[in-house]
Chain A
Amino acid sequence: MSVIENIKDLPKIATRDSYGNALVELGKEKDNLVVLDADLAAATKTGIFKKAFPDRHIDCGIAEANMTGIAAGMSTCGKVPFISTFAMFAAGRSYEQVRNSIGYPHLNVKIGATHAGISVGEDGATHQCNEDLALMRVIPGMVVINPCDDIEAKAAVRAAYEHDGPVYMRFGRLAVPVINDREDYKFELGKGVVLREGKDITIFATGLCVVETLLAAEKLAADGIDAEVINIHTIKPIDEELITASAAKTGRVFTVEEHSIIGGLGSAVSEVLSEKQPTKVTRIGVNDVFGESGPAVELLHKYGLDAEGIYNKVKETV
């Protein structure tokens, strides 16, 4: 619980920054790593990679579909391309290019999708992608990662490079507390992480909702509800074993994500449990609506995805 006790003192870093920093570190070791952008290097934070390795950074201009195809072609020639743009364009606009040019031939392309979810903030609904996890999850062979903080995001970038095949990584614009800065932290693709053990309910959370869920769990504990909090950073392949075991233990499950309640973590957990460990699941997320403009923190509050919103939802349904 030490993380939560000193949460106000923790540094805050947006995972898009972690992405850019991790690429620079990895770029020093891996000559075949290349980074592609679509006129958003300043926002995706790959600008620092461009500065460090100008010959290995390719700006494709505002043409995400072409960028996706170029990455596919480069990967057939031994490069490991990381394509970078907003989640809306990486998973949305280029969906079919990702499916057919990368997914179907199972090419070794990594997709770094920043500005995911409503925490994009002021840009509003057109740029707030709440559907990307759903879109990417249905592509056969696609690995989908949604890290919760700086440490995890950097580890995810390295794991993505080391994985042979397509990987979708979801990063955010909003700076979030670094909760994983501890010596025993270890990132394992496809493995959930128990951050708080509990016996009454299980809350599976992903991305920036993980820290909010931990805070909510503390409030619930004060009310006598002992919540197990599990960080699911890999949405696919999902940790069936851990999900099933925890549901069997507590008998009541919640999911929390900054994504539509349709198709993302909530769906993935429900799919596992409906087949292996039938358990009542309440999905907390964006309730099948578009987002809107506003400061990220205010939007997360309005849409019930901060600690208070998660706490309230659990209290009213448990």
Chain B
Amino acid sequence: MNKLELQKTAVEVRKGIVTSVHSAKAGHPGGSLSAADIFTYLYFEEMNIDPKDPKKADRDRFVLSKGHTAPGLYSALANRGYFPVDDLLTLRHTGSYLQGHPDMKHIPGVDMSSGSLGQGLSAAVGMALAGKMDKKDYRVYALCGDGEIQEGQIWEAAMFAGHRKLDNLVVIVDNNNLQIDGPIDEVCSPYPIDKKFEAFNFHVINIDGNDFDEIAAAFKEARETKGMPTAIIAHTVKGKGVSYMENQAGWHGKAPNDEEYQIAMEDLKKAGEALCQ
């Protein structure tokens, strides 16, 4: 996909996020929207996957360590063809397979159940290690939140990944700078994030995580990096693409009401139209 196609796809992914969370009357739009461009790039460009064969043995793997942003993952999967986009309307509904947090047992394309913060990266490390042991070429991607990395287990996993030189592993930190209680550097600062991953023997790349040129360059650089895992610190805007949600911690875990939903969809419609001109 070229950049314009990726941008248009990201708009559709964002529409799916807003629509599913609105339908659920609950969920996490802020961090889903900040990472929407990352989700889009991974599922439409970067990863070796096949929506018709979600469990293909040699596929690339993705672990959403910040599992609460499931709406972003689900929307990317649906738009990629893993399941009908209309099913996004069932998010968090009783009886739906689209659980509030990723459920690998019931959702096509979900490689690991996640949601309890700090745990997903360890699973991704295990997948990368298994790939190395079996001399497989698949790559493993894990998306962490910048608040999530306050969890100690993240650094246990990072230490192990660096120690084992897992160059088939890419950790992306969605650095939107906001967590539930406020700015991350006011709650309990994890900064400097890049220096921390460097200290754990990662190759580190800082990018604008809402810019497809920088995203593409970073994943290319990660692919070319040998002998150490890569951490991409993606500087993003929480709530990106929906005017009133941008940079607002309050939209971490809240659904838009009907009126707000209309405004959000109008914002995204305009963004899509602008890309068509």
Q: Residues on A close to B: CB < 8 A? A: 34, 55-56, 58, 60-61, 63, 65-79, 81, 96-97, 100-101, 104-106
Minimal Cβ-Cβ distance residue in B for A62: B156
Quick check: B113 and A63 within 8 Å, CB to CB?
Answer: no
Which A residues touch B159, using CB under 8 A?
A: 61, 63
B12 at the interface (CB under 8 A from A): no
B124 at the interface (CB under 8 A from A): yes
Quick check: B133 and A70 within 8 Å, CB to CB?
Answer: no
Interface string of B65-93 (1 = CB under 8 A from A): 00000000000000000000000000000
Quick check: B153 and A77 within 8 Å, CB to CB?
Answer: no
Q: Given A65-B153, A73-B129, A105-B105, list of 4 further CB < 8 A pairs?
A: A69-B126, A70-B157, A76-B111, A76-B112
Name the segment of B115-123, B234-242, B245-253 touching the other chain: B115-123
Write the nearest CB–CB distance from A136 to chain B, whole angstroms.
17
Within 8 A of A (CB), among B37-62: 57, 61
Provide the bound-state CA to CA distance between A304 and B24, in Å.
55
Quick check: A66 and B153 within 8 Å, CB to CB?
Answer: yes
Which one, B61, B111, B130, contacts A78 given CB within 8 A? B130
Which A residues touch B272, using CB under 8 A?
A: none
Quick check: A105 and B104 within 8 Å, CB to CB?
Answer: yes
Most buried by B among A55, A56, A69: A69
Could you pull out 18 A-B pairs where Cβ atoms are within 8 angstroms? A55-B133, A61-B156, A65-B152, A66-B153, A69-B125, A70-B123, A70-B129, A70-B160, A72-B126, A73-B123, A73-B125, A75-B126, A76-B104, A76-B126, A77-B127, A79-B130, A101-B119, A105-B103
Which one, B57, B105, B112, B134, contacts A73 given CB within 8 A? B112
Known: A65-B156, A66-B157, A69-B122. A104 touches B129 (CB 8 A): no
- Tally of A-B residue pairs with Cβ under 8 A? 105
Which A residues touch B183, using CB under 8 A?
A: none
Quick check: B112 and A77 within 8 Å, CB to CB?
Answer: no
Quick check: A69 and B153 within 8 Å, CB to CB?
Answer: yes
Which B residues touch A76, using CB under 8 A?
A: 61, 104, 111-112, 123, 126-127
B131 at the interface (CB under 8 A from A): yes
> How many residues in B have their beta carbons less than 8 Å from beta carbons of A?
34
Which B residues touch A96, using CB under 8 A?
A: 116, 119
Quick check: A63 and B156 within 8 Å, CB to CB?
Answer: yes
Minimal Cβ-Cβ distance residue in B for A105: B113
Which one, B103, B104, B116, B130, contacts A77 given CB within 8 A? B130
Write the nearest CB–CB distance from B24 to chain A, whole angstroms.
20
Which B residues touch A100, using CB under 8 A?
A: 113, 115-116, 119
Provide the bound-state CA to CA distance between A68 and B120, in Å.
11
Minimal Cβ-Cβ distance residue in A for B125: A70
Known: A55-B133, A105-B105. A74 touches B156 (CB 8 A): no
Quick check: B113 and A73 within 8 Å, CB to CB?
Answer: no
Quick check: B126 and A70 within 8 Å, CB to CB?
Answer: yes
Within 8 A of A (CB), among B144-166: 152-153, 156-157, 159-160, 163
Which one, A67, A69, A71, A78, contacts B121 given CB within 8 A? A69
Q: Residues on B close to A: CB < 8 A? A: 57, 61, 63, 103-105, 111-113, 115-116, 118-131, 133-134, 152-153, 156-157, 159-160, 163
Minimal Cβ-Cβ distance residue in B for A36: B126
Minimal Cβ-Cβ distance residue in B for A77: B130
Most buried by A among B115, B123, B125, B130: B123
Provide the bound-state CA to CA distance between A138 and B134, in Å.
35
Known: A79-B130, A100-B119. A72 touches B112 (CB 8 A): yes
Quick check: B160 and A61 within 8 Å, CB to CB?
Answer: yes
Minimal Cβ-Cβ distance residue in A for B152: A65
Which A residues touch B113, using CB under 8 A?
A: 100-101, 104-105
Which one, A60, A74, A105, contacts B160 given CB within 8 A? A60
Which A residues touch B130, using CB under 8 A?
A: 73-74, 77-79
Write the nearest CB–CB distance from B212 to chain A, whole angstroms.
29
Write the nearest CB–CB distance from B251 to chain A, whole angstroms.
26
Quick check: B131 and A66 within 8 Å, CB to CB?
Answer: no
Quick check: B112 and A58 within 8 Å, CB to CB?
Answer: no
Known: A101-B122, A104-B113, A105-B104. A73 touches B133 (CB 8 A): no
Most buried by B among A34, A60, A70: A70
Known: A66-B157, A105-B112. A77 touches B122 (CB 8 A): no
Minimal Cβ-Cβ distance residue in B for A55: B133
Quick check: B125 and A66 within 8 Å, CB to CB?
Answer: yes
Provide the bound-state CA to CA distance between A79 and B134, in Å.
10
Provide the bound-state CA to CA distance between A133 and B163, in Å.
34
